[in-house]
Structure 1
Amino acid sequence: MGRILVTGAAGFIGAHLCQALLARGDEVIGIDNFNPYYDPALKEARVEALTGNARPGAFRMHRIDLADTEELLALMAAHPEIDRVAHLGAQAGVRWSLQAPFAYTAANVTGHLGILEGVRRSEGRIGHTVYASTSSVYGSRHDGTSFQETDRVDRPASLYAATKRAGELMSSVYTDLYRIPLTGLRFFTVYGPWGRPDMAYWLFTDAMLKGRPIEMFNEGRVRRDFTYVADIVAGIMAALDNPPADGGHRLYNIGNSHPEELPKMVGILEELLGVKAIRVLKPMQPGDVPATFADVSAMKRDFGWEPTTDLRTGLGHFVTWWRQHFG
């Protein structure tokens, strides 16, 4: 049994991870600031579902902003029982980074540095930290080949991507200076039940069921490596349980490794929902990229991890949840 700090615990991936950790017997200390980037009621509902299924005392939630460094460090110091950290808290969303840039530096730079410093001050009690990065660090790619961890990542297409790359660089520095074991996971287009309302599959489902048109950017010529949330959680846990043998810093892609055309996703949703989409083709949005494609051979090699959920199955789970949650 471990005692694990999970940041972003009320978020989409964070809540799923907390559920999985609790199910296997771990104790979880959660952090989230419940910010209004999207409806906080959804975050509250995720936490309510978590606490309703958790063993008494196994899950504790703290409402803290990662950018409040003093409060964050005080919390980490007050819980010397923490032995690992899953740092998923961040300001997500490529497009909103054009509207609210300082929210991204606060959460993704200052907040990430706060976690690193809290781990350093634990003086070895925290044996491993796994943090969320993003496929967005690869920038715009047009050659159709898979993204590999050794590829150049010095031309991010959005401020969001730049702040997440900054987190990777800060992590590398802290490992070099203080020998803190760190693992960064570059997530590829995560989807599933309890998801984020700003993601295409959620927006499309809501619009289609209400008879509204859906907007398909780049005239629909977009390919995404859609990765089901349970596969992502399995990968996070595999990494969390296996710190770098040399105490160093490592980076992994974690995706489905099978990019799909956006119109295919829409077609699957049409079948699952029983309605036809009203499609509106739009130009590419600033900061967006035409394709993502994960090479996950390193995850397979080091952890025996590989994705198991195809897009049709995963969207089926999402639609089932949607009908149960929204009626």
Structure 2
Amino acid sequence: MFDAIKGSIKEWLVARFASAIKRTRAEDRVLAIRWLSESRTVIASDLSPTEKLKKLNSLMSARTAIVAVAKNVSEAVSNYRSSDLPLSVKIALPATLAAIPLVGGQAAGIAVFGGALGVPVLLLIFLGTAGITSIIEAVVTTPEVRPHIAEIIDVIVQDERLRRASAQMKAAMREQPMDPTRFATPPEEMALRAYLLNMDPCQFERHTMSFFDAAGLNAWATRKSNDFGVDGFAVHSEGLVVVQCKRNASGNKIGRPTIQQFKGVVEEQNAHRGYVVTTSTFTDEAVESAALSEKIVLVDMEALVMWHEDAPMF
């Protein structure tokens, strides 16, 4: 029961942080995302509790925009009685937050660290790295943030889930990113097939990545070709997802060499999954090669058409 209430409190706090950040200017939202990422790193570090508190406070108080967010969150927490939280959660919230571990493992009330800035610092400690990641994801999926996608990706790339990707792959992830965009497509199947076959390659990549975005993953395409042959990236709860897009003519099948090379990238980067999405099909040898790895998913024109009819889950 207590775990369920604690989980409800964390969800509510994540929503309060995200709401406060979303109400700021676009450039300030980028700063807020970077602040959250830096705070997450501090919390995950081996610093002593006292040093963590000092570092988190300095990260917050050094930026006017973040101070505004902090005060907004503090106000929301202080007015929790008028929130839409269930009564049982409202009753448990003060005691739960008052027991946030502080120096030497001792419990102390929120007021110990003082004022409007101290409250958010302790709330970040309470939420932990997973909770802070949830805040970032809630803000990043906001459409208004998208113009600053390069800065946001720079923060996402530092995510703990991507720690096993190489420095070269992370550089490729940052290179000329493009928003995932679902372009308007004809409803009739044959017209849809023709439309996909004639899409601009960059548009096809953005269109493909929009399915990952719609499924709730942080996703984007990259305009610049890279040594890995990867056209799109997504961050799954289990790790990195890499996507190769092949807008080929119907008769131009994807062969074994392409799949073997892509499998090597997926394995070397410790990716969670690798998707090859094409407007054509795959040779039998390519299908056999992909079947040797549970991480490789092949999406041909038939499957891609189905994606438009029934949204895929990843």
Pick 1 or 2: higher relative contact order, CA cutoff 8 A, min separation 6: 1
TM-score normalised per structure 1: 0.25
Which structure shows the bigger proportion of residues in strand conformation? Answer: 1
TM-score normalised per structure 2: 0.26
Which structure shows the bigger proportion of residues in helix conformation? Answer: 2
